[in-house]
Amino acid sequence: MPLDHRRLRGPEESQPPALWASAAAEDEEDEEGAGAAPRDPCALRPLFARAGLLSQAQGSAYVELGSGTKVLCAAWGPREAAEPGPGRLICEFRRAPFAGRGARGRPGAAAEREAEREAAAALREALEPAVRLGRYPRARLAVSALLLQDGGSALAAAVSAAALALADAGVEMYDLAVGCALCRPPAPAASWMLQPAEPEERRAAARLTLALLPALNQVSAVLGGGRGGPPEDWAQALRLGLDGCHRQYPVLRQSLLRAAQRRDAAAAA
């Protein structure tokens, strides 16, 4: 008997889709339970930073946190601006389509664009005090941050990566801007914790992102909000964030130094 090639024959045995849906839900619950495990609130997650890895940009940097957050930044400039006036810093923040944890909780296109615009504005607010814009009259400096994977503390990682990219591009800066994120769990007596992961951020009662110029000991931006408790608790969060920025600073400086050494070695070869 001839076969009907216009149709695909199904398997002899099959399982209802509800079986796989329940298994996926159990896996997500297991991941959330693992993310909620107690940890030292003052502990920093492992940080990896590398500058000067994109040949298509004047400056570039990649920052990865132990929570799974990965950010790639590129910087260009200075470029001549059409309008007169002091130098301008233009920031862009984009999320890769695969950056989040699947389709659950993914916002619509309009909400996602609005979130990216807010993140770009926050990035500019954190970076502008670090750049010597007065040395670039009638010029534009541009930095673009791409969030490859969102494991929590994404804006803080983008601040550090963008500052590294600008420095790698040869832009004159007062200091590197270092970002550090904090969150406060919803429990009444809970304390602030450094560099929260994505499940911790999702359940947090309050969030805070701090940008610091460590060599000058100057705060360039404080972003966040929520129910963080009395003013003393917010002051504790600021002290914890400042300490976290100072502890990350040597790693970022070393990555910038290694990039300069690689560039000098390539020029001498």
pLDDT digits (tens, 9 = 90+) for 166-224: 999 999 999 999 999 999 888 766 788 899 988 888 888 889 999 999 999 999 999 88
Q: Which two tokens stand for residue 122?
A: 């926050």
Q: Contact 137/86 with Cβ under 8 angstroms?
A: yes
- pLDDT of 104 above 50: no
Closest CA to 93 of 69, 109, 68, 72: 72
Please list, in sequence order, all residues whose beta carbon lies within 8 angstroms of the beta carbon of residue 137, skipping any fewer than 6 positions away.
85, 86, 87
* pLDDT average, residue stretch 46-58: 90
- pLDDT of 28 above 60: no
Pairing of strands 193-194, 206-213: unpaired
- In this prediction, residue 27 carries a pLDDT of 46
- pLDDT of 83 above 60: yes
- In this prediction, residue 175 carries a pLDDT of 93
Per-domain boundaries in the chain: 41-268
The mean predicted confidence, pLDDT, of the chain is 82
One-letter amino acid at 227 equals R
Tell me the C-alpha distance between 40 and 258, whole Å.
31
- In this prediction, residue 2 carries a pLDDT of 56
Handedness of CA 124, 125, 126, 131 (dihedral sign): positive
Please list, in sequence order, all residues whose beta carbon lies within 8 angstroms of the beta carbon of residue 21, skipping any fewer than 6 positions away.
none
CATH topology of domain 41-268: Ribosomal Protein S5; domain 2 (3.30.230)
| Phi, psi (rounded to 5 degrees) for 25 | -65, -40
In the chain, pLDDT over 70 holds for what percent of residues?
A: 82
* pLDDT average, residue stretch 13-34: 50
pTM, rounded to two decimals: 0.82
User: Exposed, middle or buried by CB within 10 Å (0-12, 13-18, 19+), for 151?
Assistant: buried
Segment 132-180, tens digit of pLDDT: 988 888 888 999 999 999 988 899 999 999 999 999 999 999 999 999 9
> pLDDT tier at 23 (50, 70, 90 boundaries)?
very low
| Phi, psi (rounded to 5 degrees) for 124 | -65, -40
Segment 223-255, tens digit of pLDDT: 887 776 778 888 888 999 999 999 999 999 999
Closest CA to 41 of 227, 245, 244: 244
Name the more confident of 46 and 38: 46
Q: Which two tokens stand for residue 135?
A: 């040395």
- In this prediction, residue 30 carries a pLDDT of 45
Tell me the C-alpha distance between 3 and 146, whole Å.
51
- In this prediction, residue 109 carries a pLDDT of 73
- In this prediction, residue 49 carries a pLDDT of 94
| Phi, psi (rounded to 5 degrees) for 172 | -70, 125
Tell me the C-alpha distance between 36 and 61, whole Å.
30
